[in-house]
Amino acid sequence: MSSRLPIGIQNFRTIREQDFYYVDKTPIVRKLVEEGRFYFLSRPRRFGKSLLLDTLKSLFEGREELFRGLDIHGHWDWSATHPVVRLSFDGKYNDPEDLESSILTQLEMIERNADLPAAPRKSGPERLLDLLDRLHRKTGRQVVVLVDEYDKPILDVLQDPELATANRDYLRGFYGIIKGSAEHVRFVFVTGVSMFSKVSLFSGLNNLEDISLNPRYATICGYTDGDIDRVFGPELDGLDRKEIRTWYNGYHWRGGERLYNPYDVLLLLRNREFRPYWFETGSPTFLFRMLMEKSVSPMELENRMAGMSLVSKFDVNDIGIEALLFQTGYLTIVEERRDKFDNLYRLDYPNLEVRVSLNRGLLDHLGKAGVEQLDRGRELCGLLKANDFDGFADRLPSYLSGMPYQWHATGDLARYEAWYASLLHMCFRAIGVDVRVEDASSHGRADMVVLTGGQAFVLEFKMADREGDVDAALDAAISQMRERRYAEKYLDREEPVHLLGVACGREARNLLKIRAEPA
C-alpha cells in the first residue's frame, strides 16, 4: 500500500500523522543520544537536516505516539521529557541588524510557548543565557538545544566580507553561551552546510563533536539504495533502478554506503521524469566566480585529491575551493587513502545530475550556454563518432573562441593548455558524454579521454606560440601519447582507439590544427 510523498515537508509530526513515507533514522539517532551530548553535522542543502532536528525535538519532548513502529520506540524512556530550544536561521541576513533581530524573535516565541514571563530586553546571547536557566529551573529538566542552518547568516553575505565577519563574530559569542550553560543543557545538535573551523566560529563551543565525516553516522541524512527499495517500493514501478542510481546516487561521507539526496528521489517518484531537481534549487554563482578568481580549471574539479584539512578549510577570508565544492555537495568522496599523518580523499562528482548540471551552469556563467551551445557539443561529438577529424577541426575554433580573458592572462603555459582542454571538457560533460580527465596510465596522464560511439579518443593539448610551431607542437603531442602509452588501457576493449594532438595558439587565442592517428 502506497503512502504520500513528503516533498518539502520538514515537520516530523506531519509526516507521521498524515501517512507520508518516512525513512527510519531513529537507530542512528538512538546511538547519538546514548553516546554523546554535543554534536555538529555538515550536509549539503535539502539533505534532510531540518527533518532530523525536528525528529530530535519530538523525541526529547516525549511524543511517544509519533514513534510507534519505529526502531527507537521500545528503547526510549518516554517519561523523561526535556524542554527544547530550537533555532533556525532560514531568513535573510543582508543588513547588520537582521541577525540579532532574528534571534530575539525566536527566543521570545520560545518563551511564550513555555509560558515564561517576558524577559527584559537584552542582547541575543544574554537572552539565550537567561532562557536556558529559566527553562531548567521551571521544568527541573536540562534543556535540549537544536540549531538549524547555523551558518546561513554568514554564507548569505560572503560577498560582503565585513558583514560576514561581523555575523561570524556575533555567532561565535552566541554559540559560546551554550557551553557556558553546560549545567542547564542535556543535548546539543548543530547543523549547516559548511564546516567553519572551531577556532573561527566555535571557539566558545569547542566541545562539539563533528560527526560530518564519521562513518558511524554517514547515513544519518539522505537515502540509501536499501531505503529506496524498502520504503518506496510501491512507487518504483516503471522506473529503471539503474538509471535512478546513475542520475542521483553517489554521495559519500566515509560510510559503507552511497546516498541519494531525498529531494531528487521524491521529485522523481512524483513526476516520473529524470531531471536535475536538486541542482535547480540553488545557483552556485559564488562557486563559479571563485573558480575564475582562483584560476581553477574546471577539469581540475574531477579526481581531485584533498586532505582532511583542505576538505574542512572554511572561513570568511579563507575558503578552500575543495571545501566549498565538497561541503556544498558538488563533489563527494570517491576514494580514501591513509598516509602516516592524514586521511587523503579523492573527490569527484557524485552523480550524473551534478556532473552535467554543474558544467552547463559554468558554461552559462561564461556566456556559452543555451540550446545552441549544447547543439554544438552534440555536433562535435557526432564528428568524433564519424571519425570526421577535419570537420571536428573546422567546427572547434568557433566554440573555443569565447575563452574568457582572464584565462589568457594567466601567463602559465601549462595552465594555458588546460583552459582550452577545459572548454572542450565542459562541452562534452554538459551533454553527458563519458570524459576521463588526467586519465592515468602506467607512464603518465593524458589530458583527456573521450569515450563515445564505441570508440576511445585520447587527446593531448599543446601550445604553439607562433603558427610556424604548429607541426612541432603536434609532433610533441603524438610522441608524448605514444611514449607514455596513454592509450594502452583502452586497447583491450576491442574498440577503435584514436590519438588526437591538438595545437592551440597563444597569439591567435584559438585552435590552430588537429592531427589524428590510430593508436
- The full DSSP string for 369-381 is -SHHHHHHHHHHH
What are the backbone angles phi and psi of residue 349, rounded to the nearest 5°?
-60, 140
**pLDDT tens-digit series, residues 472-497:** 999 999 999 999 999 988 888 888 99
Q: What is the mean pLDDT of the chain?
A: 89
- Say if CB 94 and CB 150 are below 8 A apart: no
Predicted pLDDT at 413 = 45
Burial class for 40, CB neighbours closer than 10 Å (0-12, 13-18, 19+): buried
- Say if CB 438 and CB 446 are below 8 A apart: yes
Given a cut of 50, whether residue 256 has pLDDT beyond it is yes
Buried b (16+ CB within 10 A) or exposed e, 342-376: eeebebbbbbbbbbbbbbbbbbebbebeeeebeeb
Predicted pLDDT at 508 = 61
Predicted pLDDT at 255 = 80
Predicted pLDDT at 261 = 98
Query: Mean pLDDT over residues 374-393, rounded?
Result: 92
> 70 vs 316, which has greater pLDDT?
70
**pLDDT tens-digit series, residues 417-468:** 677 788 888 889 989 999 987 655 555 678 899 999 999 999 999 988 776 7
Characterize the bridge pairing of strands 259-260 and 249-251: antiparallel
The position carrying cell 529551573 is: 137
- Say if CB 502 and CB 462 are below 8 A apart: yes
Q: 367-518: what fold?
A: Trna Endonuclease; Chain: A, domain 1 (3.40.1350)
**pLDDT tens-digit series, residues 268-294:** 999 999 999 999 998 788 888 888 777
DSSP per-residue string spanning 118-153: PPPS--HHHHHHHHHHHHHHHHSSPEEEEEESTTHH
CA neighbor of 389 nearest in space, from 500, 249, 506: 500
Given a cut of 60, whether residue 404 has pLDDT beyond it is no
**Distance, CA of 55 to chain centre:** 24
DSSP state of 469: G
DSSP per-residue string spanning 237-305: TTS-HHHHHHHHEEE-SSSSS-EE-HHHHHHHHHH-S---HHHHT--THHHHHHHHHTT--GGGGTTEE
Predicted pLDDT at 205 = 74
For residue 65, give every residue at least 6 positions away whose Cβ sits within 8 Å of its Cβ, in sequence order, or none: none
Predicted pLDDT at 438 = 60
| Local structure of 55: helix, strand or coil | helix
Given a cut of 50, whether residue 245 has pLDDT beyond it is yes
CA dist 438 and 499 (Å) reads 15
Q: Which three cell numbers stand for residue 384?
A: 568524433
24-217 and 367-518: identical CATH topology: no
Given a cut of 70, whether residue 371 has pLDDT beyond it is no
Length of the chain: 519
- Say if CB 251 and CB 225 are below 8 A apart: no
Specify the DSSP element, H or E, that contains 423: helix 413-429
CA dist 196 and 200 (Å) reads 7
CA dist 73 and 470 (Å) reads 73
CATH number of the domain at 24-217, out of 2.60.120, 1.10.3470, 3.30.450, 3.40.50?
A: 3.40.50
Buried b (16+ CB within 10 A) or exposed e, 439-452: bebeeeebbbbbbb
Sign of CA dihedral 18, 21, 27, 32: negative
Between 158-172, 191-205, 227-241, 372-386, the lowest mean confidence (pLDDT) is in 191-205
**Distance, CA of 290 to chain centre:** 15
What Rg, from alpha-carbon coordinates, does the chain have?
26
Beta strands in 302-407 (DSSP E): 304-307, 332-338, 343-348
Domain ranges of the chain: 24-217, 285-348, 367-518
> 511 vs 263, which has greater pLDDT?
263
